[in-house]
Amino acid sequence: MSENSAAEYEQFGPIAVITMNNPPVNGLGLALRSAIVALVDRALADPQVSAIVLTGGEKIFSAGADIREFGEQKQASAPTLHDVIEVVEACSKPVVAAIAGACLGGGLELAMGCHFRVARSDASLGLPEVKLGLLPGAGGTQRAPRLLGVERALNLIVSGEPERAKNFAGTALLDEVVDGSVLDAAVAFARSVVDGKLAPKRARDIKIDDPHAEPLLQFARTTVAAASRQFPAPLQCVEAVGHAVSKRFDEGLRLEREIFMGLMATPESKALRHIFAAERAVSKLPDVPADTPLRDIRRVGVIGAGTMGGGITMTFADAGIPVVLLETKQEALDRGIENIRRNYAASMKKGKLTQAQYDQRLALIEPTLDYAALADVDLVIEAVFEEMSVKREVFGRLDAIAKPGAILASNTSMLDLNEIASYTKRPQDVIGLHFFSPANVMRLLEIVRGAKTAPDVLATCMNLARRIRKTAVVAGVCEGFIGNRMIERYGAASNLLMAQGASPQQVDGALQRFGLAMGPFRMNDLAGLDIASAARKRKAASDPSSQGRVVADVLCEMGRLGQKTGSGWYRYEAGKRDAIQDPVVDTIIEQFRRENGITVRKISDQEVIERCIYALVNEGARILEDGIAARASDIDVVYLSGYGFPRHRGGPMLYADTVGLPNVVRALRRFAAEPGAEAWWEPAPLLVKLAEAGRSFN
Ligand code: 3H9
């Protein structure tokens, strides 16, 4: 065997085997591309070699172009992926792709450039570029319709969803689908090609002759345009497949490349690529090595069977992890279990759960009134009332009963975790697990790291988050952690806009058109106005400088607590969630403005977006400064997975980068200079520093 850094070369009789070797996923970066070309040339020059097998081994073929090279010189440096595929396709000796594991994007495009393809039945084949706001740009949109037909290719390219190789058996995409060693099968296949003197089969030579192609494309254009308004890529995928039908192969290839380059430059693709990297970076903690030994989590305890505790219990049961659910009173415990039952029954009615799964999940939940039942759990999460005296009692009891090494977690959303940890003799085992409501639905989990939390506790919880299918982001201890600390500023900015002249409908409308799933007033109605109002009252009692009575407090006093009472900022008809404008609210707002001597002014939608989003960004910068979040992209992950921030904007911090940090700073300075402006409008020092240095958050 001989090696060429990124690929290996072996010979089995007349068959040369080139094995890509670029961990972790055989990304087709410059080094690997160069290696493939060099090794194909070597095989071509060797008279002993009659055919070539190109493979990534038995684990992974290739996940496509090396995303880390995007935007860098290396991506455009020869040999490009196009060059490599051209070399392979033009090769006079037959080239057989041996595919196992992931064969995605440029990886599949490379395989389609080979003359024959042998795949293991469980290999995952797909063209996921659309999920990065791109299209398959190395011939995928031209070769896939030739090998799979127009309809199948459209589905593969527009959805971006991979499929198992066995589903492609019988199509021209795969010549053979095997179980067992794909390499052995491919070498045997290559020998049969040599013995049978078969000429290379090239996808580019296949003629597309489909009378339904045009109507299919038209149908795809209409559906895709309606379904992906914010994203240009899906429609461009359809257009590129259209070129495969109507143009000569090389012309189609040229047009595909042109569209690919155009999409690369779109803000939407930049945002999606940022999210891809952000979602992978988020689990890496600089001071917690990847090989940190984990604690074993087999059984979990949850304290409190209210909405939050019930949701957390279901999250674990959904992941097949047994849960002991503790309440202090039988009635509360019964109510909690009944809610869980009702939730699962509703899922069953919708066809999301079978009877067997329903039974299985409920069987995993052990209700108890006795703390002793928590003695042998590996992790316990308390979801009790948000008051320090209550937490103190719970953690004191846990400290006495939990086995050594058990992780003691609090679901607090606002209390000081370090203080909570101090109520135990094992602060190293205490951590915050801040779930979002409804806990069994929301993807986000903030993992709050106390001053004394042990690295292995942190690593264990990060790992556990994956098991229970949550997107975990580590936060330091502060009021509101990452998400809620920022949302408070956003809420304050929207309230200010409302006081000064914008209606709740205008504020919500502007932010929803910006892409947020729900504007701040509708979000308030969903969450319930009473929680924030109670918090404001508590704060006002201890801090006289805090915000006085606001419109939301008036609404609360009228019993308008949001959707749950049928009215809040909006009115709701029974059983419906549509927010209906309510003249009563307009009157209350007008009265509030009069009482506070506020002169109403005209506010543009652009101003609504600037104030609300920059308020988020500015607090995000402070969170970074304070070391509460490890990276700006972690903050973006919080907002994308927990707060309905639009994916095509990439998160608040990336959005600020896109707008340009100097522009954000200028706007914040303008807001801060207004008479009576609150101090938090002052741009954060980090924001100013980055803007002045011409740098960005990411
Ligand atoms: C393309 O091909 C364009 C062409 O059409 C045209 C070009 C001209 N490159 O997800 P994981 C890294 S666009 C570089 O955690 P899993 C990833 O960052 C590409 N690196 O593992 C992570 O690194 P780290 C189209 C990549 O087992 C590590 O691999 N292809 C790439 O859950 C493990 O990743 C795609 O969009 C890449 N292409 O899933 C495929 N892919 O350890 C995207 C991954 O340092 N990739 N990495 O954090 C995937 O879908 C999944 O990563 C995969 C593995 C299924 C492969």
The secondary structure element, H or E, covering residue 96 is strand 95-99
**Distance from Cα 443 to the centre of ligand 1, integer Å:** 21
Please report whether residue 291 resides in a domain.
no
Q: 3-state class of 382 per DSSP? A: strand
Please report whether residue 698 resides in a domain.
no
Is 60 exceeded by the pLDDT of residue 1?
no
**Distance from Cα 158 to the centre of ligand 1, integer Å:** 18
CA distance 126 to 102: 8
Interval 101-127: pLDDT, tens:
999 999 999 999 999 999 999 999 999
Please report whether residue 27 resides in a domain.
yes
Last residue of a domain, one of 421, 443, 475: 475
What pLDDT sits at residue 542? Answer: 77
Q: Predicted confidence band at 4 (pLDDT cuts at 50, 70, 90)?
A: low
Q: Predicted confidence band at 227 (pLDDT cuts at 50, 70, 90)?
A: confident
Q: 3-state class of 479 per DSSP? A: coil
Q: Predicted confidence band at 230 (pLDDT cuts at 50, 70, 90)?
A: confident
Q: Predicted confidence band at 335 (pLDDT cuts at 50, 70, 90)?
A: very high
Interval 441-478: pLDDT, tens:
999 999 999 999 999 999 999 999 999 999 999 999 99
The per-residue b/e assignment along 558-580, b for 16 or more CB within 10 angstroms, e otherwise, is eebbbbebebbbbbbeeeeeebe
Same-domain status, 554 and 680? yes
CA distances to 67, 336, 341 from 302, rounded to whole Å, are 41, 12, 16
Same-domain status, 343 and 465? yes
CA distance 18 to 305: 58
Average pLDDT (512-534) is 91
- Contacts of residues 400-405 at CB distance under 8 Å and 24 or more positions apart, as own/partner, are 401/371, 401/372, 401/374, 401/375, 402/374, 402/375, 402/377, 403/375, 403/376, 403/377, 405/295, 405/378, 405/429
**Ligand 1 and 65: CB distance under 6 A:** yes
The residues pairing with 97 across neighbouring beta strands, listed in sequence order, are 54, 117
**Distance from Cα 133 to the centre of ligand 1, integer Å:** 14
What pLDDT sits at residue 545? Answer: 67
Give catalytic status of residue 109 as yes or no: yes
Is 60 exceeded by the pLDDT of residue 2?
no
What pLDDT sits at residue 536? Answer: 80
In the set 8, 86, 89, 109, the catalytic residue is 109
Tell me which of 73 and 602 has the higher pLDDT: 602
Same-domain status, 234 and 309? no
Please report whether residue 568 resides in a domain.
yes
- Ligand 1, atom 11, lies closest to the CA of 280
Between vectors from CA 115 to CA 111 and to CA 116, what angle results, nearest 5°?
75
Same-domain status, 306 and 402? yes
What pLDDT sits at residue 228? Answer: 86
Interval 355-397: pLDDT, tens:
999 999 999 999 999 999 999 999 999 999 988 999 999 999 9
Please report whether residue 583 resides in a domain.
yes
Is 90 exceeded by the pLDDT of residue 586?
yes
CATH of the domain at 456: 3.40.50.720
Half-sphere exposure of 175 (CA within 13 A, CB side): 23
What pLDDT sits at residue 175? Answer: 98
Local structure of residue 681 (DSSP, 8 states): G
Give catalytic status of residue 58 as yes or no: no
**Ligand 1 and 126: CB distance under 6 A:** no
Residue 549 carries which side chain, given as an amino acid letter? R
Is 70 exceeded by the pLDDT of residue 657?
yes
Same-domain status, 369 and 341? yes
What pLDDT sits at residue 537? Answer: 81
Q: Predicted confidence band at 676 (pLDDT cuts at 50, 70, 90)?
A: confident
Interval 249-274: pLDDT, tens:
999 999 999 999 999 999 999 999 99
What pLDDT sits at residue 543? Answer: 75
Please report whether residue 277 resides in a domain.
no
What pLDDT sits at residue 532? Answer: 80
CA distances to 177, 253, 378, 447, 577 from 298, rounded to whole Å, are 39, 53, 6, 19, 39
CATH of the domain at 131: 3.90.226.10
Q: Predicted confidence band at 71 (pLDDT cuts at 50, 70, 90)?
A: confident
Q: 3-state class of 408 per DSSP? A: strand
- Ligand 1, atom 52, lies closest to the CA of 63
**Distance from Cα 67 to the centre of ligand 1, integer Å:** 7
Contact assessment for residue 378 and residue 463, using Cβ atoms and an 8 Å cutoff? no
Interval 393-409: pLDDT, tens:
999 999 999 999 999 99
Percent of the chain predicted with pLDDT > 90: 91
Task: Say which range, 90-104, 178-192, 527-541, has the weakest mean pLDDT.
Answer: 527-541
In the set 8, 129, 256, 382, the catalytic residue is 129
Same-domain status, 193 and 330? no
What pLDDT sits at residue 318? Answer: 97
Total-model pTM: 0.93
What pLDDT sits at residue 696? Answer: 96
Look up the domain containing 84 and give its range: 2-264
CA distance 6 to 195: 31
Please report whether residue 697 resides in a domain.
no
**Distance from Cα 143 to the centre of ligand 1, integer Å:** 22
Is 70 exceeded by the pLDDT of residue 26?
yes
Q: Which of 20, 22, 67, 161 to probe ligand 1 with, by most ligand atoms within 8 A of CB?
A: 67
Same-domain status, 461 and 487? no
What pLDDT sits at residue 229? Answer: 82
- Ligand 1, atom 17, lies closest to the CA of 280
Average pLDDT (412-421) is 94
What pLDDT sits at residue 459? Answer: 97
Average pLDDT (607-626) is 98
Is 90 exceeded by the pLDDT of residue 538?
no
Please report whether residue 278 resides in a domain.
no
Interval 94-108: pLDDT, tens:
999 999 999 999 999
**Ligand 1 and 305: CB distance under 6 A:** no
